[in-house]
Chains A and B, each alone.
Chain A
């Protein structure tokens, strides 16, 4: 296991979130060691996005805590953001701002010098092939382009923890490939990536650790090797997924 001496970069401790009678997240516990590439797997409606929103301090857990490093994600929500980059499932940007201006705004809000912002934005946008469109108003972007812009904003400050909610939704194959490279490079640089997906092959190819969520709680978690060991070495992640989420609505996309 990597870096056991250090506190986990993300710790979810008996996290629950009720919406009225409905429990979106139910007693979910998870430790995420530094430098891992982690996939949160689950069918639609399993509570992935709710969990991510709690980690981002957008929602307050009904009980339990989400801790990033030593900071509570809700009470220290401003300080937490210094270490986190976030890409939502459906990013919405300010009207009347161009892509380039949004990136610059993000960078300056994080106190980065203009030259550094320009340099990193250039590298990322070239790789994602969006440089041409950065002069256009972001509200005119297609869904995939919004995702790319959101990704640049999230990765601009090289965060310790990168949180991506369904990152490949709406991306073309080329961009998906680039995204996967970027995720691997981030982890290789010692930082952590946390992403949610319902695409099993994607998870299997990319991540070193995974958790399968079903009906708001974790059905299984660990490194891929651990998961295989526990549930039989010959089984694919897909088999495992369907076994564990049985009864839940299967991922339909």
Chain B
């Protein structure tokens, strides 16, 4: 057997790599084209779900955006952490050599300054500690530097920038500022962290558990392992081609150091390429190493940790909205990226200080260091590969059976589904790690960022504590869902061959996760109560809602994840980014309600989650039979989800238009009317255009006679108006009548008697009620739709609104005429308005 020549081999690898790279995007485009074609051929596009392979381009773009955000965040933290010290400060001197200002470069503190500059008002109440700390640190530093100046004069300082590339004041650093070699080391460490993180992301993308099988396959060919490795690196580099952009950082450094255009371009490109190749080498090395060194089980744990890291970062950003420290992080990020990479005093000093340039550990050394890292990395990996046999660990034929494993099983009182889930939890370490370690990591991150403030805040604040307990527990639900589903779908044939509906199987797992989350929430609450008994009233008020939310969210989030499944092949499954965002969004809004702790808000959220849960599972049940079907779609049908979407868009449209109108200077009354109309238009578009496009019939068919309709209409109008009159009397005696404000009488009349009946009847009777009726008996559907109608109205009018909803839903059920409902609604509104 002849061996390929080296150039031929290398060209083969490169061509394969290019082809794979190109095919990824071609495939994405092909899928998109097919989807368009299918739509054109009259096959309704699936709403929130698709088990078809998603357009990879879209997924890649999203992943790239997320990765760059996280990367920026980390690099920013690392760079500034090394760049900042109390000794490193900017001193401004006036003509006479007096100190004008001293600025600490700690970016959090800098942010505080920005915050102060921007708002003339004092910083919000929640910032007092940091603000005081900052003031104290600044004052202390100023004193110290003043003393330093008094003792040494200007000779005690050295310039950070000899000829600053930006106009402005000269910056001086004290002699005791961290030495150049220390900062160079810091930058190197920062870059190394970037590498590691990038390769971690690459691995995450690939899933550690299925580490590069093609490598194993390639060993079958008569090619030396060193060359194989080189080829794989070239190939892997294409997987992370955006990494070349990281060359921007060194390019900026070279520019600051006064390098010419060519030096900047070539240097940046060179660094970027080096970075890319290095990251690829690290990835291949990691794959080989992981495959060789660790058993599947351990790889599972590692994979779990990498997953956690990314999800935690995302969640921290999301949930952190309630922590002032995180607000700072986010605002700081928006303000300073990518500026910190250029402006960080650390990189500035390093790049522009002639001493640093001349120093053997200056930025040019960085290139040498990276090259060395790359070379040693490659050399180590190549050595590992070329040294003797390559045996992946733990993949071999069955191990000898231990007597314990073959022993008879235990009790049979648990349902098979639940027992299987429990067994999986026990044996799948990555899932366990995800479920149990994640809350701890989340807390740790918060703690690291805000120090003692987290404990301080939690101790004194029942809202923060309750939402933290909820956040930890709901996180468990989310991660367990993602891991359970990917696990389940891998062998869906197996579950499908059993006479049990898939929905039952998935729900059993969700309920188990819900029960575990409830247990965790109870334990956390008990611990909190033991630590801070004074918080008992606030916590215990929220506890029933927290538990209820967890129970319902366990099912709801599993349903959303199911709808967002993307089945790539018989054994590979991915959760779409969309389903991840949705689960986070829903749980975050529930967390917000827990944080507020207002009884009405909590109840409203409970009803909303319940309805969402119902709507999602109604859709899941319709979609599940098509789970393994790549071509066919379920027949178009009205679902409660359409109604829920209409409700959501109605309120969002209303709010957004109202806010815009108010900002444009419209009177509140006009803004209200405009917002309502805009919301109505959005809903109109949704129902008429979207539902028609999806070929969903929603306009009810008349069933009763006209006489029956009119008698029902009259009776309903009398009943609701009477109730409205009585309730107004009650409110008047209690003097709790809501005031109308400056809303004009005509505008209000237009709104209440014409616009509201049309829009609201279409949403709540036309879509919500009929959607519910698809899977509920009339009485249940009437009650549920009326409950939803009630909670979206002000609490004061609840009884009347509830009655109106019941009457109209019953009228629609009996007569099938939506216009009759609109008339009753208009009549009731007219009566109440004229009485008011």
Q: Which B residues are CB-close (under 8 A) to A134?
A: 406
Q: Which B residues are CB-close (under 8 A) to A140?
A: 396-399
On whether A85 and B497 interact (CB within 8 A), knowing A94-B424, A105-B420, A136-B405, the answer reads yes
Q: Which A residues are CB-close (under 8 A) to B629?
A: 58-60
Stretch at the interface among A71-79, A169-177, A180-188, A204-212: A71-79
Q: Which B residues are CB-close (under 8 A) to A164?
A: none
Q: Does B334 make an interface contact (CB < 8 A)?
A: no
Contact residues of A between 65 and 86, Cβ < 8 Å to B: 74-75, 77-82, 84-86
Q: Which A residues are CB-close (under 8 A) to B487?
A: 94-95
- The CA of A16 and the CA of B624, in the complex, are separated in Å by 22
- The CA of A92 and the CA of B409, in the complex, are separated in Å by 23
User: Contact at A91–B494, with CB atoms within 8 Å?
Assistant: yes
Q: Does B47 make an interface contact (CB < 8 A)?
A: no
Contact residues of B between 549 and 563, Cβ < 8 Å to A: none
Q: Which B residues are CB-close (under 8 A) to A81?
A: 496-500
Q: Which B residues are CB-close (under 8 A) to A136?
A: 398-399, 401, 405
- The CA of A135 and the CA of B500, in the complex, are separated in Å by 26
Band of interface residues on B? 35 or more
User: Contact at B628–A78, with CB atoms within 8 Å?
Assistant: no
- Out of A60, A82, A104, A153, which one reaches B626, CB within 8 Å? A60
- The CA of A90 and the CA of B569, in the complex, are separated in Å by 13
Q: Which B residues are CB-close (under 8 A) to A154?
A: 497
User: Contact at A114–B401, with CB atoms within 8 Å?
Assistant: no
- The CA of A106 and the CA of B501, in the complex, are separated in Å by 14
User: Contact at B493–A19, with CB atoms within 8 Å?
Assistant: no
Mark interface residues in A188-206 (1 if CB within 8 Å of B CB, else 0). Answer: 0000000000000000000
- Out of A58, A106, A109, A118, which one reaches B628, CB within 8 Å? A58
User: Contact at A96–B423, with CB atoms within 8 Å?
Assistant: yes
Q: Does A148 make an interface contact (CB < 8 A)?
A: no
Q: Which A residues are CB-close (under 8 A) to B419?
A: 105
Mark interface residues in A154-172 (1 if CB within 8 Å of B CB, else 0). Answer: 1000000000000000000
Q: Shortest beta-carbon distance, B614 to chain A, in Å?
A: 21
- The CA of A98 and the CA of B398, in the complex, are separated in Å by 11
On whether A100 and B493 interact (CB within 8 A), knowing A19-B631, A60-B632, the answer reads no
- Out of B401, B408, B501, B630, which one reaches A133, CB within 8 Å? B401
On whether A142 and B491 interact (CB within 8 A), knowing A97-B423, A105-B416, A135-B402, the answer reads no
Mark interface residues in A98-138 (1 if CB within 8 Å of B CB, else 0). Answer: 10111011101110001000100000000000001111100
Minimal Cβ-Cβ distance residue in B for A92? B491
Q: Does B205 make an interface contact (CB < 8 A)?
A: no
On whether A92 and B499 interact (CB within 8 A), knowing A60-B626, A97-B423, A145-B398, the answer reads no
User: Contact at B496–A57, with CB atoms within 8 Å?
Assistant: yes
- The CA of A62 and the CA of B406, in the complex, are separated in Å by 46
Q: Which B residues are CB-close (under 8 A) to A85?
A: 497
Interface centre among B402, B415, B497 (most CB of A within 10 A): B497
On whether A79 and B494 interact (CB within 8 A), knowing A59-B629, A136-B401, A140-B399, the answer reads no
User: Contact at A109–B500, with CB atoms within 8 Å?
Assistant: yes
Q: Does A88 make an interface contact (CB < 8 A)?
A: yes
User: Contact at A59–B423, with CB atoms within 8 Å?
Assistant: no
Q: Does B457 make an interface contact (CB < 8 A)?
A: no
Q: Which A residues are CB-close (under 8 A) to B405?
A: 98, 135-136
- Out of A101, A109, A142, which one reaches B397, CB within 8 Å? A142
Contact residues of B between 602 and 660, Cβ < 8 Å to A: 625-626, 628-632
- The CA of A142 and the CA of B398, in the complex, are separated in Å by 8
- The CA of A232 and the CA of B401, in the complex, are separated in Å by 54
Q: Does B427 make an interface contact (CB < 8 A)?
A: yes
Q: Does B126 make an interface contact (CB < 8 A)?
A: no
On whether A101 and B630 interact (CB within 8 A), knowing A95-B487, A110-B498, the answer reads no
Minimal Cβ-Cβ distance residue in B for A75? B625
User: Contact at B493–A88, with CB atoms within 8 Å?
Assistant: yes
Q: Shortest beta-carbon distance, A223 to chain B, in Å?
A: 29
- The CA of A58 and the CA of B51, in the complex, are separated in Å by 13
Q: Which A residues are CB-close (under 8 A) to B406?
A: 100, 132, 134-135
Q: Shortest beta-carbon distance, B264 to chain A, in Å?
A: 50
- The CA of A58 and the CA of B70, in the complex, are separated in Å by 40
Q: Does A56 make an interface contact (CB < 8 A)?
A: yes
Q: Which B residues are CB-close (under 8 A) to A84?
A: 497
On whether A92 and B423 interact (CB within 8 A), knowing A59-B629, A62-B631, A140-B399, the answer reads no
- The CA of A53 and the CA of B492, in the complex, are separated in Å by 12
- The CA of A97 and the CA of B406, in the complex, are separated in Å by 13
Minimal Cβ-Cβ distance residue in A for B38? A20
Interface centre among A85, A140, A141 (most CB of B within 10 A): A140
Minimal Cβ-Cβ distance residue in A for B504? A78
User: Contact at A97–B424, with CB atoms within 8 Å?
Assistant: yes
Q: Does B34 make an interface contact (CB < 8 A)?
A: yes
User: Contact at A108–B416, with CB atoms within 8 Å?
Assistant: yes
Minimal Cβ-Cβ distance residue in A for B296? A139
Q: Which B residues are CB-close (under 8 A) to A17?
A: 631
- The CA of A17 and the CA of B499, in the complex, are separated in Å by 24
- The CA of A134 and the CA of B409, in the complex, are separated in Å by 12
Q: Does B693 make an interface contact (CB < 8 A)?
A: no
Q: Which B residues are CB-close (under 8 A) to A79?
A: 499
Q: Does B570 make an interface contact (CB < 8 A)?
A: yes
User: Contact at B630–A19, with CB atoms within 8 Å?
Assistant: yes
Q: Which B residues are CB-close (under 8 A) to A62?
A: 631-632
User: Contact at B493–A58, with CB atoms within 8 Å?
Assistant: yes
Q: Does B449 make an interface contact (CB < 8 A)?
A: no
Minimal Cβ-Cβ distance residue in B for A113? B412
User: Contact at B494–A94, with CB atoms within 8 Å?
Assistant: yes
Q: Shortest beta-carbon distance, B180 to chain A, in Å?
A: 52
Q: Shortest beta-carbon distance, B142 to chain A, in Å?
A: 61
Q: Which B residues are CB-close (under 8 A) to A110?
A: 498-499
Q: Which B residues are CB-close (under 8 A) to A53?
A: 628
- The CA of A74 and the CA of B497, in the complex, are separated in Å by 12
- Out of B397, B415, B491, which one reaches A93, CB within 8 Å? B491
Mark interface residues in B419-435 (1 if CB within 8 Å of A CB, else 0). Answer: 11001100110000000
User: Contact at A86–B497, with CB atoms within 8 Å?
Assistant: yes
Mark interface residues in B474-515 (1 if CB within 8 Å of A CB, else 0). Answer: 000000000000011011011011111100000000000000
Q: Which B residues are CB-close (under 8 A) to A82?
A: 499
Q: Does B571 make an interface contact (CB < 8 A)?
A: yes
- Out of A90, A100, A106, which one reaches B409, CB within 8 Å? A100
- The CA of A102 and the CA of B493, in the complex, are separated in Å by 13
Q: Shortest beta-carbon distance, B679 to chain A, in Å?
A: 38
Q: Which 3 A-B pairs have the closest CB atoms?
A: A135-B405, A135-B406, A108-B416
Binding site for B on A (CB under 8 A): 17-20, 53, 56-60, 62, 74-75, 77-82, 84-86, 88, 90-98, 100-102, 104-106, 108-110, 114, 118, 132-136, 140-142, 145, 153-154
Query: Can you name 20 extra interface pairs (CB under 8 A) apart from A136-B399, A141-B398?
Result: A18-B631, A20-B631, A57-B625, A58-B629, A60-B631, A78-B501, A91-B493, A93-B491, A94-B424, A94-B494, A95-B424, A95-B490, A97-B424, A98-B405, A105-B416, A105-B420, A109-B417, A109-B500, A114-B412, A140-B396
A to B CB contacts below 8 Å, 30 in the list:
A17-B631, A20-B631, A53-B628, A59-B628, A60-B629, A60-B631, A78-B500, A86-B493, A90-B570, A91-B491, A92-B491, A92-B493, A92-B494, A92-B571, A94-B487, A95-B424, A95-B487, A96-B423, A96-B428, A101-B420, A108-B416, A109-B417, A114-B412, A132-B401, A135-B407, A136-B399, A136-B401, A140-B397, A140-B399, A153-B497
